[in-house]
Structure 1
C-alpha cells in the first residue's frame, strides 16, 4: 500500500487504531470515565481527519474502494453518529452492573464496518464491512445481559443477520457466475449489451432480500421492534442511524454503478417494498405504548420513504438520499438522546407513561423530543420536512406518482402517533412525575449540550437548507 493509499485511508485507519488503543487502556485497568473520554477524543480526531483527505478526492484503491465526496460525506455522518452515541453512553452505562469499558471497542469496530461499506465498490469489501458491523452489533445489542429482553434481542438479531448473510452471499455467487467479476464497475460492462440475464437478475433479487433484512424493510422487518426494545438505548440509536446509513450508501453506489434502475423486474420489487414499508411501518406504530418500539416502526416507514427517491433512478437520487439521511440521523439521535437522559439503572425510559407531563418537570428535554418528533413527522421548518420534500420531488420527477401519493398519505397517518407523544408531554399535572435518578453532572451537561446542538441542526436544516443542499448537489456516483 502506497503513501497515497494510507493518506486516503486515514479515517478508517484511525478508527481501527482507536479500537486497539481502547483495548490497551482496558488492559491497563483504567476507569470507565478515562476510557470514555479518550474514546470521545478519538472519535473527534477521526471526524476531523475527513477534512485532511479532501484534497485527494476522488481516490480509487483498486479494486475494493473508492474514496469520493459521497463516501466521505457518508463516513462523516457515520462517525458523527458514533461520536454522539459515545457522548450519550457515559451517563447511560455509568450506573449499570456490567462493566461498560469493552463497549467502546465494539462501538469503534461497528463504526469502522459502516464506514467500509460507505466506500466499497467490490463484493469483497462490501461483505467485509458488513460482517465487521454485524458481528460487533451482536455483542452490543446483548451487552446488558442481565436485562429483560437483552439476550433475546441479541439472538433474534443474530438469526436475522444469518439469514441476511446467506441470501447476500448466494446472490453474490449468482452474479459472479454470470459476470465473472465482483467489482461493481466491471459488472456494468458485462451486462451492457442486450437484456439483463435472468441469472444476474435472480442474484440481484437475492441480494435485495439480504439487504432488506439489514434495513428492516417490509416484509423483512420481523423482530425489528424486539431488537430495538431489547438493546441498550445508545446501541438502538446507532442501529437506527449509522448501521443503516452504511448499508444504504453501498446499495446506492452498487445500483448506480451497474445501472440497476433500468431493470424493470427489480424496479417492481422495490416499488412493492417501498409501499409496504411506508404503509405497514406507520400502521404498526399507531398502537405502540413503548417509545423504542414506536421509533422502530417509524424507522421502517422512513426507509420506505427513502426508497421513493432510490427507485426514481435520476441524477437527483444521490443528492436526495444524502440530505434525507442527514436529516434522519440528527433527528433520530436527538430522540434517542432524550430517552438516554431519562433512563435510570433499573430500566430504560421506554414506556410512554414516563413522558406524561414531561414539559412541567424537564421543559428542555420535552422541547428537544418534540422538535425531533415533529421532524420525523415532516412538519415544515424542520429538517424532516425539507428531506421529505426533496424525496417527494425526486419521485415525482421520475414519474412515480403512486409512490408519491402513498408517501403523502402514510405521512398523514404517521402524524397521529408523533403528535400523541407530544400532546402527552404537554398534558397532565407535574406532581405525577417521579424524581429522576442522579447522574454525573458534568457528563449530563455535555449530553444536554449535544442534544441542544442536534435540535438546532434540525431547525437550521428546515429553515435554511440551501447550504447543505449546495454540498450534496455536488455528489456524482459513476
Structure 2
C-alpha cells in the first residue's frame, strides 16, 4: 500500500490508533476524565484529518474501500457526531457510580464502523463496517447496569439485529452465487447479463431489502425501534438515530447506484411502497406517544421513509444527480437535528431508576427553567417538522424537488400528509415546554456548564445556518458528486 493510499485512509487510521491508545490507557490508568478528554481529542483529530485526505480523493484503496470526497465528508460528520455524543455522555455518565471508561472505547469503535461504511465499495467491507458498528452498539445500549431498560433494549436489538445481519448475508451469498462478484461496480456489470426474472436474483434482493430495512427501521421491519430507543441511554439513542442510520443509508445509496440496482422496476416499486408505509405509519404512531423518546423513534421511521424517495427517484438518469445531492444534504441536516433533540433528553431525568422514560409532563415549564436548552429543543423540533428557516425545511424541500422532477405523485402525497401529521406532535412538545407550571423533571446539575451551553449554542447555529444559508453546502455537494 502506497503512502497516498495511507493518507487517503487517514481518518480511519486515526480512529484505529486512537482506539488502541484508549485501550492501553484504560488498562494502565483508570481515569474517567482522562478517557473522555482523550476520546474528544481522537474524534477532533479524525475529523480534521479528513481535510488532508481530500487531496488524494477519489482513490480506490484495495478493492474494499473507496476514498472519495463524499466518503470523507460523511466521515468528518460521523466524527463530529461522535464528539458531540462524548460531550453529552460526560454529564450522563457523571451521574453514575461506576467507572465508564470502556463506554468511550465502544463509542470510538462504533464510529469507526460507521466511517468504514462510508468508505465501503465491496460487500466484504460492508459487512466489516456494519458488524463493527452494530456489535459496539449492543454493548453501548446495555452499558448502564443499574436499570433493567437498557438490558432489555440491548437484548432485543442483539437478537433482531443478528437475525437481520444473517438475512443480509444470505442475500449477499445468493448475489455472489449469481454473479461471482463482491465489488459494488462488478456486481452492476455482472447483473446486467442476468435476466430480470431470475428467481434467485429476486430472492436475493428481497433478503437484502429486508436486512437493510431492519437496520434503517423501515416498515414493516420497525417494531424494535421504540423499545430500543426508549431503553438505551439517551446519548447512545441519539448516536443510533443519527450516525448509525446515516451510515447505513449512505451505504445503501452507494450500493444502489454503483451496482445499478435502479434498473429493476420491481425493486423500485417495492421501495416506493415501503417509503409510503414508513412515512404514514411512523407519523401516525408517533402521534399517539406521550414518551418523547418513543415519539422520536417513530419519527425516525418516517424520516427514513422520506429518504427512500431518493432511491426511487434514482430510477431516472436525468434526476440521479439531484437525488444524490438531496440525500447528502438531508443526512447532514437530520444528523445535526437528531443530536440536538437527544442532547436535551440526555440531561433530563424523571426518576433515577426510570430515567429513560422522559414524558411530555417531564418537560413542562422547561422554557422558564432552562431557556437555552429549551431553545435548542425548540429549534430541533421545528427542524424535524420542516418549518422554514431551519435545516429540516431545506432538506425536505430538496426531497420534494427530487420527487417532483421524477413525477412521483404518490410519494409526494405521502410526504405532504406525513409532514402535516408530524407538525402536530412536534408542536405538542413545544406547547408543554412553554407551560408555566413547575416541571416534574430533574435536570442534571451540570446542565448549565460551559461545555453544555457552548454545545447547545453551536448546534442551534448549525441548524439555523443550514436553513437560512444553505448555498455553501449545496455548492460543495454539487462539486463532489
Superposition TM-score, scaled by structure 1 size: 0.96
1:347-386 equivalences under 5 Å are 347-348=355-356, 350-386=358-394
Does the CA contact (< 8 Å) of 2:363 and 2:439 recur in 1?
Answer: no
CA–CA distance in structure 2, aligned partners of residues 407 and 219 of structure 1: 18
SS in 1 for 2:66: strand
Q: Cα offset for 1:3?
A: 1.7
1:15 aligns with 2:15: yes
Does the CA contact (< 8 Å) of 2:376 and 2:456 recur in 1?
Answer: yes
Does the CA contact (< 8 Å) of 2:330 and 2:396 recur in 1?
Answer: yes
Runs of 4+ more than 3 Å apart: 431-437
Does the CA contact (< 8 Å) of 2:262 and 2:268 recur in 1?
Answer: yes
Q: Cα offset for 1:363?
A: 1.1
SS in 2 for 1:60: strand
CA–CA distance in structure 1, aligned partners of residues 467 and 95 of structure 2: 37
CA–CA distance in structure 2, aligned partners of residues 175 and 437 of structure 1: 51
1:240 aligns with 2:241: yes
Does the CA contact (< 8 Å) of 2:293 and 2:357 recur in 1?
Answer: no
1:208 aligns with 2:204: no
SS in 1 for 2:388: coil
CA–CA distance in structure 2, aligned partners of residues 216 and 18 of structure 1: 31
1:331 aligns with 2:332: no
1:387 aligned residue (391, 395, 404): 395
Q: Cα offset for 1:440?
A: 7.9
CA–CA distance in structure 1, aligned partners of residues 443 and 310 of structure 2: 43
> 1:18-47, CA deviations, whole angstroms, 9 ceiling, x for partnerless residues?
111111111123321111011101110000
For residue 225 of structure 1, what is the aligned residue in structure 2?
A: 226
- Number of aligned residue pairs: 473
For residue 459 of structure 1, what is the aligned residue in structure 2?
A: 464
For residue 478 of structure 2, what is the aligned residue in structure 1?
A: 473
Q: Cα offset for 1:289?
A: 1.1
Does the CA contact (< 8 Å) of 1:361 and 1:433 recur in 2?
Answer: no
Does the CA contact (< 8 Å) of 2:178 and 2:201 recur in 1?
Answer: yes
For residue 29 of structure 1, what is the aligned residue in structure 2?
A: 29
**C-alpha RMSD of matched pairs (Å):** 1.5
For residue 427 of structure 1, what is the aligned residue in structure 2?
A: 435
> 1:119-140, CA deviations, whole angstroms, 9 ceiling, x for partnerless residues?
1111100001111011101100
SS in 2 for 1:474: helix
Q: Residues 117, 436 of structure 1: CA spacing in aligned structure 2 closer, same or farther, 3 A cutoff? A: closer
1:242-391 equivalences under 5 Å are 242-313=243-314, 314-343=320-349, 346=352, 347-348=355-356, 350-391=358-399
Runs of 5+ in structure 1 lacking a partner?
A: none
Q: Residues 440, 308 of structure 1: CA spacing in aligned structure 2 closer, same or farther, 3 A cutoff? A: closer
CA–CA distance in structure 1, aligned partners of residues 312 and 441 of structure 2: 48
CA–CA distance in structure 1, aligned partners of residues 463 and 162 of structure 2: 36
Q: Cα offset for 1:151?
A: 0.8
For residue 59 of structure 1, what is the aligned residue in structure 2?
A: 59
For residue 403 of structure 1, what is the aligned residue in structure 2?
A: 411
For residue 447 of structure 1, what is the aligned residue in structure 2?
A: 452
For residue 438 of structure 1, what is the aligned residue in structure 2?
A: 445
Q: Residues 316, 428 of structure 1: CA spacing in aligned structure 2 closer, same or farther, 3 A cutoff? A: same
Q: Residues 433, 172 of structure 1: CA spacing in aligned structure 2 closer, same or farther, 3 A cutoff? A: closer
For residue 421 of structure 2, what is the aligned residue in structure 1?
A: 413
Q: Residues 75, 435 of structure 1: CA spacing in aligned structure 2 closer, same or farther, 3 A cutoff? A: closer
SS in 1 for 2:60: strand
Q: Cα offset for 1:358?
A: 0.8
Q: Residues 138, 87 of structure 1: CA spacing in aligned structure 2 closer, same or farther, 3 A cutoff? A: same
Does the CA contact (< 8 Å) of 1:342 and 1:349 recur in 2?
Answer: no
Superposition TM-score, scaled by structure 2 size: 0.96
SS in 2 for 1:473: helix
For residue 317 of structure 2, what is the aligned residue in structure 1?
A: none
> 1:417-465, CA deviations, whole angstroms, 9 ceiling, x for partnerless residues?
0000001111232x45566442286xx3212211211111111111111
CA–CA distance in structure 2, aligned partners of residues 41 and 23 of structure 1: 15
CA–CA distance in structure 2, aligned partners of residues 432 and 249 of structure 1: 40
Runs of 5+ in structure 2 lacking a partner?
A: 315-319
